[in-house]
Chains A and B, each alone.
Chain A
């Protein structure tokens, strides 16, 4: 197994290299630059001398191939450079936001698992009953409703209902405090985006759980278990559900990776200072260094999460062995 893990980790290098070249070229294909935005993004007058000086300082006037070599050399020596917008080290900027994004990803994934597996299971067991129809309606609605829209509705709902009940409108906090510093404040801020996002992902996982379980429930070994007179509860829990979890784990794993770097709009709606918001800001600001680093981070997370998912396959299904 460890050889397999090492092989997969080594494969990370060409993957990162390809992603690095691609993102480098794509970013530079977009017209404009960070200096123009920084010095005059609000329509302010720009000193032409300052504009030119800014470009020189940030190396924007250097030939493209030199910029690429510089970027690759820096990246593969773990020197991620400094943000072109703030001048602060990229690792510092990402580190500040990583904690929040990780917490949201974990909370949303938990919401997703807590909702999806029981609902998907019940839906499969009670196939074609009103319970099944209800669960399917809820999950289809979850897929259809974008999580950012749900977020907006949650905020408006909170404002309106609290004003109606207490006379004073309330909304979740808009500035972050770590969980261990102020748990109440932290959770009152993060529970809402976790629910909005978790619901969206739980809908996908619910449908996946349902269809995978239905498939497994028609397998011969389930019929055999029933013929042996095993309790239905035991058949579901020990034989069917575990075997139906492989595609669910895949979905949840990919969702988790996506949550780490992809909560772009939801983070903005709830004003979360996470990786997704940083991503949007760095792309908008044409901060090449930051954007490149974020893309590489997300690629790394995706590759590692996929590896973990593959390992989990082996844990869940003894027939799967890697060599």
Chain B
């Protein structure tokens, strides 16, 4: 059952490499212009405003209409490299002791309504995201806490002044929700004169971006249709005439839609069994891209309850889990796979295998690990202790992994039950420390940004989503230090300390396995590379269809009418 970290990393790397190889081979081919890509989307669009939303249900159909200031490299989305989208040249490095970032803005970019893009649009956009006026909902205000001022020294320069140097700043700028809006749209006046914030809310129901595609129609609950933006700022792109994002909440429909030729691709991910079924049914007509997924799947004992206040109990709980074995067998039925610490495996801040194997719960010998767990439980007087797992009524990966955890804990003598509730009550329960014993605690992020994301595990007084309800001033201090540390080596050192305390010393949080993203798609879809997040690489400007000319024309006729 032993699976070495190296092998896993190699597997993940290989997966990425296979995907990359496919694209390398594809990019050696000449991309063909035309056709309409059909996507199936498993979630709904709350509003079109990226600044207030956080669901992939909005990102997948709406992101192609917008551009970002910088973005994850679509040709290398597995890396942490950013490239300019609406800025020009290379992504800027910080000046003024890491406190100033100056972006040169691309000239000639146009919004879909013909308005030329200037630095003032970028400033207005980021002011809405970072300093929203009262009554305007922006979902990333706290994460831009380092920003002091955003200004435009001239029409094509944008300057961000920070309160302190922060390694988390640039990844936050690259967040795919930061759609760039036109300043004149944000300043629109309510034609009825009723709403003074009309412009700030205009993008909730209207679309005008500089993205690769312009908006054609949205049938709520059915589909979103976009057509090529002829004046797109990346020359020669997009290759497609358009895209159609079809809403299909049920996973079986999405899978069968790809199988039955109603859709070409789904960007969130399918379980392993569905991948295998599609490959079996369609053979070479299906290409599978896989990647480690920037979503942690873990749990926390509720430390308002006496049982979990004893760190020996928490340590025993993590020691009982056979992560290395699960990476092999659980990954055959669930969308989890990669063993790792708090940072996404493969990221420069991720823990190396040797270090990881010294942490509780990561020992390669599971029998020795469980023996230690029993010993700690005995010391704590918690042999045979009873508790319930508070889980979400969603199969992948919640119920599958939750059931596995239950079995693992039973193997060290704990008496565990699982309570599975629908999403709404589950979240409500998480907010009520009296409602649960052990919470399933997932966290999905877009851009890989371990330093900022570590904010989930600091004290409950500062982290609203702390599911362990603990206070740990040491973690808080280290978190603040690493967020202001300019030296990458010192930052990594702080991160190691922080992680060890969370996973091992205090065992506040038990990271079980990282999610694993599986994207089977029709083999004729070329140019798209899997990213470690379902939020990333969704501009679709590099995607093309390797089908006969007639079929591409027919698709365009069918969906866009010529």
Q: Which residue of B lies closest to A85 (CB)?
A: B46
Given contacts A46-B54, A48-B464, A268-B249, contact A170 B260 (CB under 8 A): yes
A45, B47: Cβ atoms closer than 8 Å: no
CB-CB nearest 10 A-B residue pairs: A171-B260, A32-B424, A31-B428, A32-B428, A48-B464, A43-B442, A43-B444, A273-B221, A44-B54, A31-B425
Residues of chain A from 1 to 45 with CB closer than 8 A to chain B in the complex: 30-33, 36-45
For the complex, give the distance between the alpha carbons of A212 and B341 in Å.
69
Decide yes or no whether A86 CB sits under 8 A from chain B.
yes
Residues of chain B from 220 to 252 with CB closer than 8 A to chain A in the complex: 220-223, 244, 246-250, 252
- Of A36, A96, A158, most buried by chain B (CB within 10 Å of CB) is A36
Given contacts A33-B424, A36-B428, A96-B221, contact A45 B453 (CB under 8 A): yes
In the assembled complex, which residues on chain A have CB atoms less than 8 Å from the CB atom of B426? 32
Given contacts A39-B139, A86-B45, contact A171 B261 (CB under 8 A): yes
CB distance from B275 to the nearest CB of A (A): 16
For the complex, give the distance between the alpha carbons of A40 and B445 in Å.
11
In the assembled complex, which residues on chain A have CB atoms less than 8 Å from the CB atom of B425? 30-32
Binds A, one of B6-14, B140-148, B303-311, B347-355: B140-148
B135, A57: Cβ atoms closer than 8 Å: yes
CB distance from A33 to the nearest CB of B (A): 7
For the complex, give the distance between the alpha carbons of A285 and B250 in Å.
15
In the assembled complex, which residues on chain A have CB atoms less than 8 Å from the CB atom of B259? 159, 169, 171
For the complex, give the distance between the alpha carbons of A31 and B221 in Å.
25
Decide yes or no whether B357 CB sits under 8 A from chain A.
no
Residues of chain B from 378 to 404 with CB closer than 8 A to chain A in the complex: none
Decide yes or no whether B443 CB sits under 8 A from chain A.
yes
8 A-B pairs in the complex with CB atoms less than 8 angstroms apart: A31-B432, A43-B444, A45-B456, A93-B221, A174-B248, A175-B244, A271-B246, A284-B424
A269, B442: Cβ atoms closer than 8 Å: no
CB distance from B160 to the nearest CB of A (A): 19
In the assembled complex, which residues on chain A have CB atoms less than 8 Å from the CB atom of B52? 50
Interface string of B117-157 (1 = CB under 8 A from A): 00000000000000000010111111100000000000000
Decide yes or no whether B257 CB sits under 8 A from chain A.
yes
State which of A37, A97, A174 has its C-beta within 8 Å of the C-beta of B40: A174
Decide yes or no whether B204 CB sits under 8 A from chain A.
yes
Decide yes or no whether B429 CB sits under 8 A from chain A.
yes
Interface residues of A (CB under 8 A from B): 30-33, 36-51, 53-54, 57, 85-88, 93, 96-97, 152, 155-156, 158-159, 163, 168-171, 173-176, 268-271, 273, 277-278, 281, 284-286
State which of A37, A47, A86, A174 has its C-beta within 8 Å of the C-beta of B424: A37
Residues of chain B from 40 to 90 with CB closer than 8 A to chain A in the complex: 40, 43-47, 52-56
In the assembled complex, which residues on chain A have CB atoms less than 8 Å from the CB atom of B139? 39, 46-47, 50
For the complex, give the distance between the alpha carbons of A286 and B427 in Å.
12
For the complex, give the distance between the alpha carbons of A32 and B425 in Å.
5
B427, A36: Cβ atoms closer than 8 Å: yes
Decide yes or no whether B465 CB sits under 8 A from chain A.
yes
For the complex, give the distance between the alpha carbons of A178 and B277 in Å.
33
In the assembled complex, which residues on chain B have CB atoms less than 8 Å from the CB atom of A40? 54, 427, 465
B253, A269: Cβ atoms closer than 8 Å: yes
A38, B248: Cβ atoms closer than 8 Å: no
* Known contacts A96-B220, A281-B44; 11 further A-B pairs (Cβ under 8 A): A32-B427, A33-B424, A36-B427, A40-B427, A42-B43, A42-B56, A48-B142, A97-B221, A170-B261, A271-B246, A273-B221
In the assembled complex, which residues on chain B have CB atoms less than 8 Å from the CB atom of A174? 40, 246, 248, 253, 257, 262-263
Given contacts A45-B453, A85-B46, A286-B424, contact A54 B137 (CB under 8 A): yes
B137, A53: Cβ atoms closer than 8 Å: yes
B47, A87: Cβ atoms closer than 8 Å: yes
In the assembled complex, which residues on chain B have CB atoms less than 8 Å from the CB atom of A268? 249-250, 253
Interface string of B453-496 (1 = CB under 8 A from A): 10110000000110000000000000000000000000000000
For the complex, give the distance between the alpha carbons of A158 and B261 in Å.
12
CB distance from B246 to the nearest CB of A (A): 5
A159, B427: Cβ atoms closer than 8 Å: no
In the assembled complex, which residues on chain B have CB atoms less than 8 Å from the CB atom of A159? 256, 259-260, 281
Decide yes or no whether B95 CB sits under 8 A from chain A.
no
For the complex, give the distance between the alpha carbons of A51 and B138 in Å.
10
B221, A281: Cβ atoms closer than 8 Å: yes
B424, A36: Cβ atoms closer than 8 Å: yes
Given contacts A53-B137, A268-B249, contact A175 B223 (CB under 8 A): yes
Decide yes or no whether B300 CB sits under 8 A from chain A.
no
A33, B221: Cβ atoms closer than 8 Å: no
CB distance from A305 to the nearest CB of B (A): 25
B443, A163: Cβ atoms closer than 8 Å: no
Q: Which residue of A lies closest to B260 (CB)?
A: A171
Decide yes or no whether B96 CB sits under 8 A from chain A.
no
For the complex, give the distance between the alpha carbons of A40 and B43 in Å.
13
Decide yes or no whether B562 CB sits under 8 A from chain A.
no
A49, B46: Cβ atoms closer than 8 Å: no
In the assembled complex, which residues on chain B have CB atoms less than 8 Å from the CB atom of A271? 246-248, 250, 253, 257
For the complex, give the distance between the alpha carbons of A159 and B453 in Å.
44
In the assembled complex, which residues on chain B have CB atoms less than 8 Å from the CB atom of A49? 141-142
For the complex, give the distance between the alpha carbons of A85 and B428 in Å.
17
